[in-house]
Amino acid sequence: MLVFNPHNANYPEPKNSFQRDVFAFCQQWKLGKNEFLFHTSGSTGKPKPIYLSRLNMIESVNITKNWLDLQESDNVLLCLPIEYIAGAMMLVRALVLKLNIVMIEPSQNPLEGITKPVNIHLASFVTTQWSTILQSNQDLFSVFSEVKGILIGGSELTSSLELLTRDIHLPIFQTYGMTETSSHIAFRSISAQFDFYQCFPPVKVKVNQESCLCINSPSTLNQWIETNDIAELLNDNQFRIVGRKDFIINSGGRKINSELIEKFCHTFFKLNFCDFNSFACGLEDDFYGQKLVLFIESKDGFDFKIQLVDYLKLNLKPWEVPKQIIVLPEFLYTKSGKIDRPNTLTLHLNNLKS
């Protein structure tokens, strides 16, 4: 654990590569660097390089400042890799707003790295970190008694994780954003049990002909960008995410939304008091073109295959029921905590060949 003000003239000697990268980013910012390279998460394919300008990121900082009323000398927790936008934006907020950084090397439970009393005013976690934190039964109020926002991003909370989160009386938000928008452009309150995202006041949204969300924000320099997220608009500033265009499976001439299947799987797990990660995808098939397959992560096997299929048959159309269920001991994950579907699938196929 290291607490430091990025505006100090001298930084301590870095003790690991994470600290070294953080100090280097701060120095580049203070020297006026105008463009920074980031990469997308890579959950749907190879990570893409994206350049963001200094102004892009400053506009994003202003959105967060106005939302959470961040003040000079507030403490922000940095526990995410800074080569991705969520971690880097914590640094930029501290640099622009003169905040203090509580730096902990990224891990599944970064709160274990807090070694002395500190009040965190802003924290950001990926879903896998938040899940580990909740399972640890740590006293969150000892760290977050003055918190203005605990932000969870990277992927959607499972229904069971969301239920656990609702019982915590702290300002906890699921955020929506991406590298191209310099972090979040919308949020939903977990405690308020909203199932929709609320845009920040300057942000505009619409959908294109494929029902994919389009965003116009100060953090995109008021340019419209198209996402691959299929969305349902409630009004001009509220929306729900239905799924990813990338995750549509074309099986036997029918288009199947894999995330709808995953949603019903999570409901089944919850009803049966178990918690498994899963994802549906299309495997190449001579008859169907793409055969619908469900992958489940479990080191100890999965004894509910028949019951799960029966449940899906009751709630889905016949062609939306997986043709096969494959149990893997472990999935691969991106650094932002999302299931790395392409590489998990590739690893499984390579194991079949060996």
Q: What is the rounded average pLDDT of the residues 294-313?
A: 94
> Which residue shows structure tokens 């650094």?
335
Residue 131 sits in the same domain as residue 262: no
State pLDDT tens for residues 196-211. 999 999 999 999 999 9
Among 200, 221, 243, which residue terminates a domain? 200
pLDDT tens sequence across 111-155 = 999 989 999 999 999 988 998 999 898 899 999 999 999 999 887
- Tell me the C-alpha distance between 42 and 48, whole Å: 7
Which ranges of 194-332 would DSSP assign to H, the alpha helix?
258-271, 305-315
Within-domain flag for 35: yes
* Position 245 in a domain: no
Query: pLDDT averaged over the chain?
Result: 91
Q: Let me know if residue 161 belongs to a domain.
A: yes
Report CA dihedral (240, 242, 243, 245) to the nearest 10 degrees: -100
**Domain check: are 167 and 24 in the same one?**
yes
Q: List the one residue out of 71, 97, 70 whose CA is nearest residue 7.
A: 97
Q: Do 156 and 274 lie in a common domain? A: no
Domain boundary (200, 233, 261) is at 200
Residue 25 structural domain: 2-200
User: Considering the domain boundaries, does residue 315 fall inside one?
Assistant: yes
Longest dimension (CA), the chain: 66
pLDDT of residue 244: 85
Classify each residue of 41-64 as buried b or exposed e, where b means 16 or more C-beta atoms within 10 Å of its C-beta.
Answer: bbbbeebeeeebeeebbbbbbbbb
Instruction: Kindly state the DSSP code that residue 252 receives in the 8-state scheme.
Output: T
Question: What is the average pLDDT across 256-268?
Answer: 92
Q: Domain check: are 145 and 58 in the same one?
A: yes
* Alpha-carbon distance values, 191 to 124, 165, 172, 294 (Å): 17, 8, 7, 31
Mean pLDDT of 158-186: 91
Indicate whether 92 and 25 sit together in one domain.
yes
25 shares a domain with 155: yes
Q: Does residue 15 lie within any of the structural domains?
A: yes
In a domain, 215, yes or no: no
pLDDT, position 354: 64
Residues 37-65 pLDDT 10s = 998 765 555 678 899 999 999 999 999 99
Cα–Cα distance measured from residue 354 to residue 352, given in angstroms and rounded to the nearest whole number: 6
- pLDDT at residue 284 is higher than 90: no
Which CATH number covers residue 109? 3.40.50.12780
- On the 0-12 / 13-18 / 19+ scale of CB atoms within 10 A, 114 is middle
Residue 271 lies in a domain: yes
**Number of domains comprising the chain:** 2
Region 261-289 average pLDDT = 89
- The two structure tokens encoding residue 38: 């980031």
In a shared domain, residues 148 and 281: no
Q: 185 and 262: one domain?
A: no
Q: Give the CATH number of the domain where residue 316 resides.
A: 3.30.300.30
Write down the pLDDT at residue 42.
59
| Residue 341 belongs to a domain | yes
- The average pLDDT across 66-92 equals 95
- For position 286, what pLDDT does the model report? 78
Distance CA 64, CA 26 (A): 19
